Amino acid sequence: MALSNMQLYNQRVKAKLPGGVHYNFHMPWEETPIHFVKARNSRLWDMNGNEYLDFYARFGSLIIGHGNEEYSESLKEMIDRVLSVSHCDLDAEALELISKYVPSAEMIRFGVSGTEIVQNALRLARAWTGKNRFVRFEGHYHGNADNIMGGKVQKKGDAPIPTEYFGDLKGTAGRAKDVLESQSYLVPWNDAEVLEELLLKNGDEIAAIIMEPVCVNGGGVMPAEGYLKKVRQLCDDHNVVLIFDEIITGVRMGLGGAQTYFDVKPDLTTLGKAIAGGGVPVAALVGRKEIMQLLVDKKVIHAGTFNGYPLGTAAVKATLEILSRNNGEALTSMNNNMLHIHELMKAEAAAVGLPFVIQGPTACASYHCCNEVLKNTSDYTFDIMSLDIMLHTSLAKHGILVSTISRLYPNISLSTEDISFLRERIGKAFVETKEIFD
């Protein structure tokens, strides 16, 4: 069979680009990149002229939608006026907007990537407490850095096991020796007992606890009732800095993020992705004034060539202005449309007999091909993941793009036409996936 334009183009790219993609995880399947030529609102068009509904949203960052006029005009205005300096005349406005909505954002520093800002948060926590290690949770993702991916999970009754690479999906070869073992403990999510036991034994060496307050990367698992408040209390009791990684949940769970939703205030918060709408990269490290004072006093270094770049700052300001207008009506309408889509997907799956659930916050939910919602990140087995990827592939074939295996990220331009587009195509994708299952 003759190769399509895009397949030929892929081959050309792959000759120079490792794996043909700009990122990769330790997954057994090969990504087939789609090269896009045009985008509008929630739709994308590829080099072969195929149209897609975009729930991929650039790993969740594109909350504003493609071609939002107000957003684009704000960025163009900034490019024309001041292309590249370290401080522009929108700093105060952008910072004040974040501070207005995010409870822990007494002070804010901008960076570029989530990976980098998480490392800066850990550095601040170590400097603040004078302690060395941090605690993280099974299934949570905090970026592409040596010290924070993969590892062995601490179970109840175990002597504290510093984490080490054992070939799991999120681990990687090539990192510095002992980097996991010497820096962190990896514990199960939603298990306060294990955490308490660890802090009682080793609290004097633990500087920080870092978590996704809703574990989106582990399958969309909500915190158990009272869990976040319990962790907050343990941090206070053991002089540990609580870091919420809200790089996904910030903005998508409302402008105040998960900390507002659950009414639990962390000491530090990391923001990224949707905070700048999705067109340009901005990450933010926000937190308590006393801790951020370490930056003012120059005791802790936080540096970066593009930190606070004008285009990014303009994007943060435009995004928060658009999303906060009229009591946040853009997000409310997006979530209502998305809930409608969730119901539609569940009904279509039931009609063809495909096991199917959707879980997590509406604006960053995950689907799974199983009968019951995952109660914990450890329930997200490789078998479920494999079924999810089959559906992901079928959905893409029928013009519905979802993110990181099974995530459904809407944007504020989502419309009734998009719902109709999905309704027309979804049945075919479900039937096809069911046939593969059978």
Provide the phi-psi class of 298: left if phi over 0, else alpha when psi is between -120 and 50, else beta: left
Q: Is 190 in the site for ligand PMP (CB under 6 A)?
A: no
What pairs with residue 53 in β-bridges?
Answer: 43, 400
In angstroms, give the least distance from the CB of 200 to ligand PMP.
28
Q: How many Å apart are CA 398 and CA 58, to the nearest integer? A: 19
Q: Is 245 a catalytic residue?
A: yes
Hey, what are 34's tokens? 């789609």
Q: Tokens 């034994």 identify what position?
A: 201
CB 86 within 8 A of CB 308: yes
Encoded amino acid at 169, one letter: L
Residues constituting the chain: 438
- Which of 65, 111, 114, 254 touches ligand PMP by CB under 6 A? 114
Which of 23, 78, 87 is closest to 306 using CA atoms?
Answer: 87
**Candidate segments 107-115, 322-330, 344-352, 377-385, binder of ligand PMP by CB under 6 A:** 107-115
Residue 405 lies near ligand PMP (rule: CB under 6 A): no
- 273 is known as an active-site residue: yes
**Angle between helical axes of 91-101 and 310-352 (0-180°, round to 10):** 40
Interaction of residue 113 with ligand PMP, rule CB under 6 A: yes
- Binding status of residue 407 toward ligand PMP by CB under 6 A: no
- When asked if residue 247 is in the footprint of ligand PMP (CB under 6 A), the reply is yes
Nearer to ligand PMP, 213 or 399 (CB): 213
DSSP H/E element including 348: helix 310-352
361 vs 266: CA distance, rounded Å: 19
Is position 143 an interface residue for ligand PMP (rule: CB under 6 A)?
Answer: yes
From the candidates 52, 56, 141, 309, give the one annotated as an active-site residue. 141
Distance CA 221, CA 380 (A): 10
- 212: contact with ligand PMP by CB under 6 A: yes
Are 262 and 223 within 8 A, CB to CB? yes
Contact status: 248 vs ligand PMP (CB under 6 A): yes
Q: Shortest Cβ contact with ligand PMP: which residue?
A: 114
Q: Which of 88, 118, 149, 334 binds ligand PMP (CB under 6 A)?
A: 118
Strand order across the beta sheet in which 283-287 lies: 107-111, 283-287, 268-271, 241-245, 206-211, 133-137, 184-187
359 is a contact residue toward ligand PMP (CB under 6 A): no
Q: Which is nearer to ligand PMP, 219 or 399 (CB)?
A: 219
Q: Which is nearer to ligand PMP, 146 or 197 (CB)?
A: 146
Site residues (CB under 6 A) for ligand PMP, limited to 213-232:
217
Decide if residue 138 touches ligand PMP (CB under 6 A): no
Q: Which is nearer to ligand PMP, 46 or 245 (CB)?
A: 245
CA distance linking residue 315 with residue 393, whole number of Å: 32
Q: Determine, following the binding rule CB under 6 A, whether residue 110 of this chain makes contact with ligand PMP.
A: no
Nearer to ligand PMP, 245 or 388 (CB): 245
Residues facing residue 136 across a β-bridge: 186
Active-site annotation holder among 273, 317, 367, 418: 273
Q: Which is nearer to ligand PMP, 115 or 202 (CB)?
A: 115
Please report whether residue 272 would count as binding ligand PMP according to CB under 6 A. Answer: yes
CB 173 within 8 A of CB 144: no
User: Site for ligand PMP (CB under 6 A): how many residues?
Assistant: 15
**Closer CB to ligand PMP, 133 or 142, in the complex:** 142
CB atoms within 10 A of CB 142: 26
Least spacing, CB of residue 246 vs ligand PMP, in Å: 8
Rounded Cα distance between 184 and 152, Å, is 10
Query: Do the strands 400-402 and 51-55 form a parallel or antiparallel pair, or are they unpaired?
Result: parallel
Q: Does 403 bind ligand PMP (CB under 6 A)?
A: no
Residues that bind ligand PMP (CB under 6 A): 59, 113-115, 118, 141-144, 212, 217, 245, 247-248, 272
Catalytic positions are 141, 245, 273
